[in-house]
């Protein structure tokens, strides 16, 4: 089972913290839609033996496309790939694009999941981030959207400069008041060469405070768990049955094809990524070629990736899988490296029982996971468990 990701590389304006690939000029939008459809066709042989379970429009801002553009791209996927019945089809959208008419158009299309870039319900935060929407638009679009979609996720950003714990809690409570089943929440980070980076360097915005971000993270976990959400990945919280199928597939190592400038793909053995340049992308696709680079993953790369994603998710790192897929040397190394984190109560080994229907018995599985205390630090812990050369 596999997923198709389609990157829409346009945004109305540049958010100050963002380093994703996008252009604020819409001049080539129509040409881009045709090129995306062409790439979908050019790459159909890659998924000859696969069933597509999820289609995900990300960006950039997919909601700058017309409903006809979106339908055309979904039709292109159906035309060239085998798609399961009722695939999850997600569209990322920004509140300023989500008026009632647009939401109705989406609801009458194959899109069945909306991921809305709210980020904050406070005007001053939205201004600081240079978001294209305001707080009233964020609330209004959620009122409409929840009338027509049950599967909605919103993004929220924490760790904003000078954001008090009370203000952050208010943001979470406002989100909860719309009764949405999924929240993705990320700490604000300073990416090199972004406007935020420059503003912090010249002192117009205060430096980010890691301790504050950590406090926000724990408030978020407590509040959402209290309200029936499962913290299934470091930045993702969902009610049961509402976890993102698309993202879960990435974390569980399933294959995906990334269409569009800067999109990444994974086929189980290698990763590839398309050029992050709209003009070059269009030119190369017009020559019937896909402008991408490929990296074959060594055993160490695959081990490191499994550790990184496993520690971020509720599913953890299976010690049996480490031994069967990578060998006992890798397992010994992992257990040795994990020791100090287990003593510091940042990691734990949990034993769970898994029933084996075929043999009508259950077997014990040991899984390495981050503890509640260790969750915020999971990326740093993972990098200490990585290995550089054991082959």
CB of 93 or CB of 308, closer to ligand SF4? 93
Nearer of residues 24 and 86 to ligand SF4, judged by Cβ: 24
Of 13-21, 42-50, 101-109, 143-151: span binding ligand SF4 (CB under 6 A): 13-21
Cβ atoms 157, 129 nearer than 8 A: yes
- Choose which of 53, 55, 57, 60 interacts with ligand SF4 (CB under 6 A): 60
- Which residue's CB is nearer to ligand SF4, number 62 or number 316? 62
Q: Are 156 and 118 in contact (CB under 8 A)?
A: yes
| Residues 6 or more apart in contact with residue 298 via CB below 8 angstroms | 391
Count Cβ atoms below 10 Å from residue 69 Cβ, excluding itself.
Answer: 20
Q: Quote the least distance from Cβ 112 to ligand SF4, whole Å.
A: 22
Stretch that binds ligand SF4, among 12-20, 204-212, 224-232, 253-261 (CB under 6 A): 12-20
- Assess 15 for contact with ligand SF4 (CB under 6 A): yes
Footprint of ligand SF4 on 69-98 (CB under 6 A): 94
The answer to whether residue 11 forms part of the interface with ligand SF4 (CB under 6 A) is yes
CB of residue 185 vs ligand SF4: minimum separation in angstroms? 14
Cα(67)–Cα(70) distance, integer angstroms: 5
Closer CB to ligand SF4, residue 53 or residue 96? Answer: 96
How many Å apart are CA 52 and CA 76, to the nearest integer?
A: 13
User: How far apart are the C-alpha atoms of 12 and 10, rounded to whole Å?
Assistant: 7
Residue 190 interacting with ligand SF4 (CB under 6 A):
no
- Angular region, 171: left φ>0, alpha ψ -120 to 50, beta rest: alpha
Report in angstroms how near the CB of residue 45 gets to ligand SF4 at its nearest: 30
Q: Provide the terminal-to-terminal Cα distance of the chain, rounded to the nearest Å.
A: 30
Q: Which stretch binds ligand SF4 (CB under 6 A): 10-18, 96-104, 191-199, 250-258?
A: 10-18
**Cβ proximity to ligand SF4, 11 vs 319, nearer residue:** 11
Contacts to ligand SF4 from residues 92-151, by CB under 6 A: 94, 117
Query: Least distance in Å: CB of 115 to ligand SF4?
Result: 11
Q: Which position among 5, 22, 242, 303 is part of the footprint of ligand SF4 (CB under 6 A)? A: 22
Which of 289, 287, 259 is closest to 274 using CA atoms? 259
The structure tokens listed for 95 are: 């509140």
Residues in the chain: 391
Q: How far apart are CA 146 and CA 98, in angstroms?
A: 12
Name the one range near ligand SF4 by CB under 6 A: 17-25, 207-215, 284-292, 296-304: 17-25
Rounded distance between C-alpha atoms, residue 202 and residue 178, angstroms:
38
In the sheet that holds 361-370, the strands lie side by side as 317-318, 361-370, 347-356
DSSP state of 323: I
Residue range at the interface with ligand SF4 (CB under 6 A); choices 57-65, 78-86, 97-105, 373-381: 57-65
Q: Which of 18, 208, 221, 314 binds ligand SF4 (CB under 6 A)?
A: 18
Question: Site size for ligand SF4, by CB under 6 A?
Answer: 11
Q: Figure out which of the listed residues 2, 54, 61, 262 binds ligand SF4, where binding follows CB under 6 A.
A: 61
Q: Three-state DSSP class for 20?
A: coil
Distance separating alpha carbons of residues 52 and 292, to the nearest angstrom? 22
Stretch near ligand SF4 under the rule CB under 6 A, chosen from 15-23, 98-106, 133-141, 240-248? 15-23
Q: Are strands 317-318 and 361-370 parallel, antiparallel or unpaired?
A: antiparallel
Distance CA 296, CA 294 (A): 7
Q: Exposed, middle or buried, 19 (CB in 10 Å: 0-12/13-18/19+)?
A: middle
CA separation for the pair 161, 1 (Å, rounded): 42
Interacting residue with ligand SF4 among 39, 56, 59, 220 (CB under 6 A):
59
Question: Per CB under 6 A, which of residues 328..357 are in contact with ligand SF4?
Answer: none
Instruction: Give the binding range for ligand SF4 (CB under 6 A) out of 37-45, 55-63, 201-209, 326-334.
Output: 55-63
Residues that bind ligand SF4 (CB under 6 A): 11, 14-15, 18, 20, 22, 59-61, 94, 117
């Amino acid at each position: 089972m596999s997923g198709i990701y389609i990157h829409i590389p346009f945004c109305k304006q540049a958010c100050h913290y963002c380093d994703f690939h996008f252009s604020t000029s819409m001049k080539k939008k129509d040409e881009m839609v045709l090129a995306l459809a062409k790439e979908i066709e050019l790459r159909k042989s890659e998924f000859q033996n696969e069933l597509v379970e999820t289609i995900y429009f990300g960006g950039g801002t997919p909601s700058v496309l017309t409903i006809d553009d979106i339908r055309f791209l979904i039709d292109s996927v159906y035309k060239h790939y085998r798609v399961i019945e009722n695939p999850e089809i997600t569209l990322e959208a920004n509140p300023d694009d989500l008026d009632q008419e647009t939401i109705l158009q989406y609801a009458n299309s194959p899109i069945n999941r909306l991921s809305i870039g709210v980020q904050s319900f406070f005007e001053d935060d939205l201004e600081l981030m240079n978001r294209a929407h305001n707080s009233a638009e964020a609330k209004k679009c959620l009122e409409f959207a929840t009338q027509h979609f049950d599967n909605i996720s919103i993004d929220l950003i924490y760790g904003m400069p000078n954001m008090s714990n009370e203000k952050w809690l208010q943001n979470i409570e406002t989100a909860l008041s719309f009764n949405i089943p999924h929240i993705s929440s990320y700490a604000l980070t300073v990416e090199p060469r972004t406007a935020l980076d420059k503003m912090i360097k010249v002192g117009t915005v205060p430096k980010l405070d890691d301790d504050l971000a950590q406090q926000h993270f724990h408030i978020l976990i407590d509040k959402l768990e209290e309200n029936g959400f499962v913290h299934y990945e470091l930045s993702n919280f969902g009610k049961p049955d509402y976890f993102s199928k698309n993202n879960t597939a990435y974390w569980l190592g399933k294959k995906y094809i990334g269409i569009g400038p800067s999109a990444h793909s994974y086929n189980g053995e290698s990763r590839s990524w398309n050029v992050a340049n709209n003009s070059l992308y269009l030119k190369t696709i017009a020559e019937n070629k896909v402008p991408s680079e490929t990296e074959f993953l060594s055993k160490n790369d695959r081990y490191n990736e499994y550790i990184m994603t496993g520690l971020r998710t509720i599913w953890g790192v299976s010690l049996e899988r480490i031994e069967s897929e990578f060998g006992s040397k890798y397992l010994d190394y992992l257990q040795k490296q994990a020791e100090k984190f287990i003593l510091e109560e940042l990691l734990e080994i949990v034993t769970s029982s898994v029933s084996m229907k075929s043999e009508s018995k259950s077997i014990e599985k040991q899984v390495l996971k981050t503890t509640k205390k260790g969750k915020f630090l999971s990326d740093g812990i993972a990098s200490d468990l990585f290995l550089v050369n054991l082959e």
